[in-house]
Chains A and B, each alone.
Chain A
Amino acid sequence: MQSLTTRHLALLTILSTLCIAIQLTPRPPNVEFTSLLVFLVGVFFGVFIGSAIGATVMIINGFLSSWGFAGLNLPFQITGMVIVGVVGELYGRTKKGEYTLSSCIEAAVLGAFLTLVYDVVTNIGVAVSYMLLGMPALPAFISAIVFGVPFSLIHVVSNFFVFSLAFFPLTKALQEFFGGEKVWRKDSLSM
């Protein structure tokens, strides 16, 4: 577990607040920035903090969202966002602080893939609610996937563009904020 400086803590607080604020702001369905920010926190702060922020945002969103209480789907939303945080850390380890313009494409593809994974996981949650109403497992899952297709399509496509456009500038900004990720990782964080 890494120790956090006040500077890191302030940044995480701002990012969390930003996530929650965007989640609770009326917006087109499934156009969101939480995945990107959780991924980014996973890249810079590791899986525990990334997942914790993702889970926290999803819990608050699950209760206060303008779309209503998430209910049974809440644990699945948290799981989906934790996966985003985990992959964020793995990606951060792979890149070792060397982000180039090609990272835009990588992040976009990863963003689309993670969004798809998130949607599949949350659709399992929807399928479980169908199953509780008496529907068999396979039809319940297929129904959940099929009925969710328009939302998934918007989600995946929008996140592809959000990741491709915002990931690289944000990593650059954060690296500058910390004085370069390599320096920051070496000097200010004890992993």
Chain B
Amino acid sequence: MEKGLLIYVILGVLVWAILGTVVAAYYFHQYDTYQREYSNLADQFASISIKVNIFLSYGNGTKVWHNNTVIPLGATAFNATYSVAEDVKHTDYGGELGIIVTSINGLANNSTHGWLYWYYDSGNLGWMGLQQSCAKHILHEGDIIALTYESYIPWPEKPT
């Protein structure tokens, strides 16, 4: 290769190498900065949020676990439903009955089937049906709840 040409090639490669190095350093710095910011934010968020495990069973064999779902401190089973399902419809009957979820991800309650809430008792009781509106059942760190689409007649089996 001609000497003059070689000098320009070397110069071009040198520029490329230096630029590549500093750009890599820039992105490493950006990565480091955002990683630290994320960690700080996650630490702060941990003090105002809880992690729960949510089980969704669509009654047709489709079962999905949403483990370690992060929800705000004081959130209810109803709030948690919104964090794992894209399309949730509900009816607020007010009073003691309160809110009832009528449809999740397009699967709606009807005269024979509906969405039922369960919570897992870590003692000996296992799965227990909610005795109140899902909007009144406040969740705690590590709680396990299930939403199952089941037939009312006969009364459904516990989630498996």
Report B21-41 CB contacts with A as 1/0, cut-off 8 Å. 011011001000000000000
Q: Kindly report which residue of chain A lies nearest to residue B9, judged by CB atoms.
A: A109
Chain A residues with CB under 8 Å of B153's CB are: none
Looking at B11-19, B47-55, B64-72, B84-92, the stretch in contact with chain A turns out to be: B11-19
CA of A156 to CA of B23, assembled, Å: 12
**How far in angstroms is the closest Cβ of chain A from B39?**
21
Report A149-191 CB contacts with B as 1/0, cut-off 8 Å. 1101100100000000000000000000000000000000000
Whether B25 pairs with A142 at a CB distance below 8 angstroms is yes
Given A112-B15, A113-B14, A116-B15, A149–B8 Cβ distance below 8 Å? no
Whether B22 pairs with A149 at a CB distance below 8 angstroms is yes
Whether B12 pairs with A149 at a CB distance below 8 angstroms is no
Given A116-B18, A146-B29, A109–B23 Cβ distance below 8 Å? no
Report A122-151 CB contacts with B as 1/0, cut-off 8 Å. 000000000000000000001001100110
**How far in angstroms is the closest Cβ of chain B from A38?**
19
CA of A167 to CA of B29, assembled, Å: 36
Given A145-B25, A146-B29, A149-B25, A113–B19 Cβ distance below 8 Å? no
Q: Kindly report which residue of chain A lies nearest to residue B8, judged by CB atoms.
A: A109
**How far in angstroms is the closest Cβ of chain A from B69?**
38
CA of A5 to CA of B86, assembled, Å: 79
- A110 near B: Cβ within 8 Å? yes
Whether B29 pairs with A116 at a CB distance below 8 angstroms is no
**Which A residues between 90 and 132 are near B, CB-CB below 8 angstroms?**
105-106, 109-110, 112-113, 116
CA of A116 to CA of B29, assembled, Å: 20
Whether A156 pairs with B22 at a CB distance below 8 angstroms is no
Chain B residues with CB under 8 Å of A156's CB are: 15, 19
Given A146-B22, A149-B26, A150-B26, A106–B8 Cβ distance below 8 Å? yes
Residue in A110, A113, A149, A152 with the greatest tally of chain B CB atoms within 10 Å: A149
CA of A116 to CA of B13, assembled, Å: 13
Checking B8, B15, B19, B25 against A146 with a beta-carbon cut-off of 8 angstroms, the contacting residue is: B25
CA of A156 to CA of B14, assembled, Å: 13
CA of A128 to CA of B23, assembled, Å: 22
Chain A residues with CB under 8 Å of B11's CB are: 109-110, 113
**How far in angstroms is the closest Cβ of chain B from A60?**
28
Checking B12, B26, B29 against A112 with a beta-carbon cut-off of 8 angstroms, the contacting residue is: B12
CA of A144 to CA of B22, assembled, Å: 11
**How far in angstroms is the closest Cβ of chain B from A4?**
31
**How far in angstroms is the closest Cβ of chain B from A136?**
17
Whether B15 pairs with A109 at a CB distance below 8 angstroms is yes
**How far in angstroms is the closest Cβ of chain A from B136?**
52
Using a CB–CB cutoff of 8 Å, the interface residues on chain A facing chain B are 105-106, 109-110, 112-113, 116, 142, 145-146, 149-150, 152-153, 156
21 A-B Cβ contacts within 8 A? A105-B8, A106-B8, A109-B12, A110-B8, A110-B11, A112-B12, A112-B15, A113-B14, A116-B18, A142-B25, A146-B22, A146-B26, A146-B29, A149-B22, A149-B23, A149-B26, A150-B26, A152-B22, A153-B19, A156-B15, A156-B19
Using a CB–CB cutoff of 8 Å, the interface residues on chain B facing chain A are 8, 11-12, 14-15, 18-19, 22-23, 25-26, 29
